[in-house]
Amino acid sequence: MNKLMTDFQDILQRLLDKVYGWGTDIVLMLPNLVVALLVVLLFIGLSMLVRRLTQRLLQRVMGTSPLVKLLSRLATGLILATGLFVALDLLHLDKAVSSLLAGAGIAGLAIGFAFQDLIANFISGIFLSIRRPFKPGDLIRAQGIMGRVVHMHLRTTTIRLFEGQHVIVPNKELFQGILTNYTTGFRRVDIAVGVSYGEQLEKVEHITLKAITDLEVGLQDPAPRIVFTEFGDSSINLEAQFWIDTGQQADYLLARSAGIKAIKAAYDEAGITIPFPIRTLDFGIKGGETLRHMWPQTMTAN
C-alpha cells in the first residue's frame, strides 16, 4: 500500500513538474508570442495594401482580366506566408516551418498528378489572359461553337449562343484549338448564286456587281467583287462578295438578306434566270440517245 502511494505521488509530481515547465515556457515565450502576433497582424495589413496596389497597377496595364485577380492573390498569399514563417521563427519553431514546407511540396506533387486537366485549363487561362485573343463581348467560333463571350475565368470561358444558352468551354480547348474572332470591325459577306448556262457571264457579272455595290450596308473599300466558282450540274455558280463594318452577327445576317433580295430583284429586272435543278434522261444503252430516237426501236422490238 505504501509503495502504491509512493508511485502515485511520483506520477503526480511528474505531471505537476511538466505543467509547471509548460507554464514557465509560456511565460518566458509570452513576449515572443506578443511580437509574433503583432508581426502576423502587420503582414495581414501589408497584404491587403499590396493586393489593392497590385490590382490597380495591373488593371492599368492589362485591363480587367482574370490574371489580375490571380496575380494579386498570389502577392497576398506570398506576403501572408512570409509573415507566418517569420512568426514561427520568432517562436523558435524552425522544425514546424521545415515540416510545413515539406508537406506543401508533397501536397503540390500529389495535386499535380491528380488534377492534370484542371492545371492544364488553369495554365491555358493564364496564357489567354496574357495574349488576349478575345475579350468579353467578342463574337468567336471555337470547337464548333459560335457565340459571344460572356465571362472569362482562369479555368473556363462562358459563351452565349445565338439561341440564348450559355456554354462553358474549358480554356485548354480554346488555347490549343482553332479560334476565330469575328469582332474585328470588318466582315465579308459571301452570297452564292447560280445562273443559267444560256446567260452572258459579262452581263451577269455587271448586274450582280451593281446590285451589291448599291447596298447601303456595304462598304466601297474594300470594293465588292464577283467571282465565278464552278460549272454546276444545272448552273454556272458565282459568289458575290462585299464587306460590312460591324462585328454583330445580327447585322451580318441582315446584310446578307439585303444582298440576296437585291440580286434577285436585279435578275428579275434583267431577265436573268436562276435555274431549278435539271435532270437529263438518257434512254440509250451507249448513252446520248433521247426517247424520241429510241421510241421506234422499242416499238419494233415489241
The verdict on 239 and 168 lying in the same domain is: no
Chain mean pLDDT for the chain: 78
Q: pLDDT of 196-229, one tens digit each?
A: 998 999 999 999 999 999 998 888 888 999 999 9
**Domain count along the chain:** 3
The verdict on 199 and 177 lying in the same domain is: no
- Report pLDDT for 129: 78
Which residues, 6+ apart, have CB-to-CB distance to 65 below 8 Å? 58, 129, 132, 152
Chain position carrying cell 445562273: 195
pLDDT at 1 > cutoff 70: no
**Residue 150: which CATH number?**
2.30.30.60
176: which 3 cell numbers?
Answer: 490549343
The verdict on 172 and 192 lying in the same domain is: no
Distances (CA, A) of 53 to 50, 205, 226: 5, 62, 56
Instruction: Check: CB of residue 227 under 8 Å from CB of residue 239.
Output: yes
Low-confidence winner among 68-77, 153-162, 228-237 (lowest mean pLDDT) = 68-77
Alpha-carbon distance 107 to 114, whole Å? 10
Burial of 142 (0-12, 13-18, 19+ CB in 10 A): buried
Which residues, 6+ apart, have CB-to-CB distance to 291 below 8 Å? 281, 283
The verdict on 217 and 163 lying in the same domain is: no
The verdict on 93 and 35 lying in the same domain is: yes
The verdict on 199 and 162 lying in the same domain is: no
Mean pLDDT of 70-99: 72
The three-state (H, E, C) secondary structure of 215-236, written as one string: CCCCCCCCCCEEEEEEECCCCE
The verdict on 28 and 100 lying in the same domain is: yes
The verdict on 32 and 107 lying in the same domain is: yes
190: which 3 cell numbers?
Answer: 459571301
* Residue 37 belongs to some domain of the structure: yes
- Report pLDDT for 299: 46
Q: What is the band of 4 on the pLDDT scale with cuts at 50, 70, 90?
A: low
The verdict on 33 and 56 lying in the same domain is: yes
* Residue 173 belongs to some domain of the structure: yes
Alpha-carbon distance 207 to 215, whole Å? 13
pLDDT at 152 > cutoff 90: no
- Report pLDDT for 27: 55
* Residue 122 belongs to some domain of the structure: no
- Report pLDDT for 269: 93
DSSP structure string for 74-129? HHHHHHHHHHHHHHHHHTT-HHHHHHHHHHHHHHHHHHHHHTHHHHHHHHHHHHHH
- Report pLDDT for 258: 94
Low-confidence winner among 20-34, 140-154, 240-254, 288-302 (lowest mean pLDDT) = 288-302
The answer to whether the Cα torsion of 13, 15, 18, 19 is positive or negative is negative
Which residue type occupies 179? L
The domain of 153 spans 133-181
* Residue 17 belongs to some domain of the structure: no
Element (H, E) at 204: helix 201-213
Alpha-carbon distance 167 to 183, whole Å? 19
* Residue 216 belongs to some domain of the structure: yes
The verdict on 26 and 88 lying in the same domain is: yes
* Residue 119 belongs to some domain of the structure: no
**Residue 76: which CATH number?**
1.10.287
The verdict on 203 and 152 lying in the same domain is: no
The verdict on 86 and 161 lying in the same domain is: no
Q: Tell me the angle at which helices 116-131 and 94-114 cross, rounded to the nearest 10 degrees.
A: 90
pLDDT at 171 > cutoff 70: yes
- Report pLDDT for 181: 86
Distances (CA, A) of 170 to 156, 159, 180, 236, 256: 4, 11, 16, 44, 33
Mean pLDDT of 257-269: 94
* Residue 106 belongs to some domain of the structure: yes
**Residue 264: which CATH number?**
3.30.70.100
Which residues, 6+ apart, have CB-to-CB distance to 230 below 8 Å? 236, 237
Instruction: Check: CB of residue 143 under 8 Å from CB of residue 169.
Output: yes
* Residue 208 belongs to some domain of the structure: yes
